Structure 1
Amino acid sequence: MQTTGFSAPQGPLTTEIAVIGAGIIGVASALALARQGHQVLVLDGQGPGLGASYGNAGHLATEQVFPIADASILMRLPKMLLDPLGPLRLDWRYLPRALPWFTRLLLNLRAAPYHRTVAGLRALNEGSLGAWQRLLQSIDRPHLLRHDGSLLVFEHPASLPALQALQARMREQQVPVECWQSQAVRDAAPQLSEHLQGGLFFPETGHFLDPYRLVGELVNAAKAQGVRFVQQQVDSAHFNDAGVVLASQPRHVHARRVLIACGAHSAPLTRALTGKHVPLDTERGYHLMLPREHGRLPFAVTSLERRFIMTPMADGLRLAGTVEFAGLQRPPTPGRAEQLHRLSRGLFKQDLDTEAATPWMGFRPSLPDSLPVIDSLNDGRVLLAFGHQHLGLTQAAVTAQRVAAMAAGQPAPLPYRLNRF
């Protein structure tokens, strides 16, 4: 089905554009660059799609045009942080490292930066569905994406005002949204519990049947365009007269230009080549994959009160969500993935089957204003595409288009430039 293994070349490596990162952003960008006629080499310390791209929720979340936090979360924050298995966890040992990031996040809740973020997310998301449809059609794999909408459900009558306020905010941003009563929810997803009060349906969203296979199919398409994939960790980078030297074992890589697209690991290389300190951190996300659950849901369903998502996939039902700040080094927190199953109880007429369930944890690259960096620096020798938080899958195809445009000499898009920090 897919060929995701790296090659093992001998001797020094040279290329026109070196892409650092074989996640969904890096692979989609490599394909776009190769189709422009560039010679492209992709480097990663692990196999393609084995980072955050492997375990994401699979939701094409074009409706999510608001930052990861807003002013309303401040009142709920203490309670959320005191719940060890709640939707948000902060490892207190990590607090000194995280404090500057959270300070910047709070500053971005002010009106002007907040509206800039909404405008930036909306601009990317509005083009995401069409970009994905065109990309998948071009590799003859349109069936990997289901354009069938998604549903946000609520359980308690007291939650109705919050749901109505969200609907109004969505409509202000011209996000297509429909208000469904309880009967409409039961008609569309009859296995959901009858106590659900209703929800918001987003018709211009969808879900991917297998995020890992998606990366693999893009790798195959990129290889057919001449892209080389090499499993090699890049340790540092510097300029020379010919371009960029990427220092790594067992060999250095020489490139005229470099694209940094290694997600939550992008900050050190960006600083080495640009001198800019990027306030990049990671939202550690969890999922629980239920391989015995097929046919429970027709599309992705999110719970307003419980704050997690359930996505039907080819290999079962994926429960995903929660945000954890603990950095890149600490091991997964026991119980956070299993907590997703506990959150699902009561949402269905019959509880989900957890036999052979598998947990996962990955690093979502997040910046305090919730916008990615998509930029070109040093006379085009350094291209940047990272920091998409939980929207990396959603925005990958449209980001790849913008990376290719920058490589062709077009200006880097606002408001995603690195110099905003």
Structure 2
Amino acid sequence: MPNHPTSNTLHDTPDIAVVGAGIIGVASALQLARRGLRVVVIDQQDPGRGASYGNAGHLATEQVFPIADLSILKRLPAMLMDPMGPLRLDWKYMPRALPWFARLLLNLRPTPYQRTVAGIRALNESSLGAWNRLLKEIARPDLLKEDGSLLVFERPDSQQAIDALLARLHGQHVPVDRWQASAVREAAPQLSEHLQGGLFFPRTGHFLDPYQVVSELVHAARLSGVQFLKQRVEGGHLEQGGVSLITDQGRATARQVLIACGAHSAKLTAALTGKKVPLDTERGYHLMLPHEHGRLPFAVTSLERKFIMTPMSDGLRLAGTVEFAGLERPPSMERAWQLHRLSKGLFKRDLNADAATPWMGFRPSLPDSLPIIDKVCDGKVLLAFGHQHLGLTQAAITAELIGQLAVPGTATGTHGLPSIEAYRLQRF
């Protein structure tokens, strides 16, 4: 598709411009097009080449708690001192990160924390059904393996932590089964026999290739009339008839805009709404092992080692490390290779890391661990970003919510949608 400056006139102005071609932007674009809107998607990268490319591939509906709790205060020295720790704060980024962390700590108080958990759970409970509907619509249900996931533990003294987590999950009505060591060995016989047991989550699954999921949605969106432009959006402003976006190749106008560019969403949101959102980024790493097939039947997470292993069509993906260092610093790929070291001892035979490829991407994160999903500025601006490490999980349900916000009353089927009250922009 040619990438030339746009000079839209009224008769060819799209109904909505989606800024961001990740999983959330593309899924939303498809929803909007199927509701009768003319849609253009704008991104400086090819679709799906940002955080959507390298996520863990886990449909993590069981993860209803934020990644941080009050123990983060005790862990702060380790976060600063250990460059290979599972949760790291870069020294040089600390001055910029402190205000964000201060707001995070305020959101760990009982009332806001409960509000966060309720908000995450509402999206996650609807996510699997939304994904099944979306994949059925594009005739690719085979992309999702709906076969559960497993959290394992190794040390006998971790039993207390497992029991506490199980009680909390039951309290949130998360489907979960306690597995003894024998059940773990039966389901995943290549795992080490010293594992003590785990928790199995039957209402989860994993994607065989997250990038292919985006690619298939792009294909379906193009067939539905969605146009994709490879341009960098540098700013914008509201006009009487809609929104004007300034790109590196000219000006693009639309009657509405959807900001869905993940960790890069804050600047455009401020330009269009006047609201400065406290958006930061969790830099996530993965290591892809192309020679590892058949080791695991489903995604497996280690309680003590704090990382996840997901079987995919191209091998086994190790993921899960979080780093706070902003958008500008170069990646520390040693953190990706650390994932292979963490896997040692979890299998009867160590994983083969020959020809392994490391990766780093930006997960957009807000201090209350909830995304922003909203329609503001008299309906001219829609927002869908800040899903932290649950962007893949919550993409399909977010797209349905955006479709309903853009074109109320056009939802198909009888499925209900979560209320967006917890995700509105005005909470900041």
Report TM bin, short chain: over 0.9
Check whether the contact 2:143–2:208 (CA below 8 A) recurs between aligned residues.
yes
Residues 81, 88 of structure 1: 8 Å contact kept: no
2:342 maps to: 343
Q: Distance in 1 between matches of 2:70 and 2:392?
A: 26
Question: CA–CA distance in 1 between the matches of 2:266 and 2:350?
Answer: 42
State the SS of the aligned residue for 1:238: strand
CA displacement at 1:7 relative to structure 2: 4.7
- The alignment partner of 2:423 has SS state of coil
1:13-412 alignment runs, 5 A limit? 13=8, 14-409=13-408
Once the two structures are TM-superposed, the CA of residue 249 in structure 1 deviates from its matched residue by 2.1
> Match of 2:295, as an amino acid?
R
Amino acid at match of 2:393: T
1:66-88 per-residue CA deviation (whole Å, 9 max, x = no partner) reads: 01211233333323432110101
Question: 2: CA distance between counterparts of 1:101 and 1:283?
Answer: 12
Between 1:409-418 and 1:348-357, the stretch displaced more is: 409-418
Paired amino acid for 2:174 = V
SS in 1 for 2:200: strand
Residue equivalent to 1:418: 425
**What is the alpha-carbon distance in structure 1 between the residues aligned to residue 119 and residue 183 of structure 2?**
33
* 1:414 CA drift (Å): 1.1
CA drift at 1:90 = 1.0
Distance 2:320 2:54 in 1: 11
Native 8 Å contact 2:15 2:39 kept in 1: yes
C-alpha displacement of 1:334: 3.8
Name the TM-score, length of structure 2 as normaliser: 0.95
Paired residue secondary structure (1:19) = strand
Corresponding residue SS for 1:252: strand
Structure-1 separation of matches of 2:419 and 2:379:
10
Q: Is the 8 A contact 2:333 2:360 kept in 1?
A: no
One-letter amino acid matched to 1:250 = Q
Q: Describe the superposition over 1:211-263 as per-residue Cα deviations: whole angstroms up to 9, x where unpaired.
A: 00000000000011100001011000101222100001212101000000000
Provide the secondary structure at the position in 1 that maps to 2:191. coil
Separation (CA, whole Å) in 2 of partners of 1:86 and 1:101: 20
Report the counterpart of residue 3 of structure 1 in structure 2. Answer: none
Give the gaps of 5 or more residues in structure 2.
410-417
Distance across 1 between alignment mates of 2:361 and 2:99: 22
Amino acid paired to 1:399: T
Shift of 1:11: 4.7
Matched with 1:8 is 3
d(CA) in 2 for partners of 1:413, 1:390: 19
Partner SS for 2:255? strand
Does the residue aligned with 1:15 lie in a helix, a strand or coil?
A: coil
The letter of the residue matching 2:303 is L
Cα deviation code 1:364-387 (max 9, x no counterpart): 000000000001101110000000
3-state DSSP of counterpart to 1:415: helix
Q: 1:189-219 CA deviation, whole Å, 9 max, x = no partner?
A: 0000000000000000000000000000000
Q: What amino acid maps onto 1:8 in structure 2? A: N
What is the number of equivalent residue pairs in this alignment? 416
Offset of residue 12 of structure 1:
1.8
Alpha-carbon shift at residue 130 of structure 1 (Å)? 0.6
Structure 1 regions of 5+ residues with no counterpart? Answer: 1-5
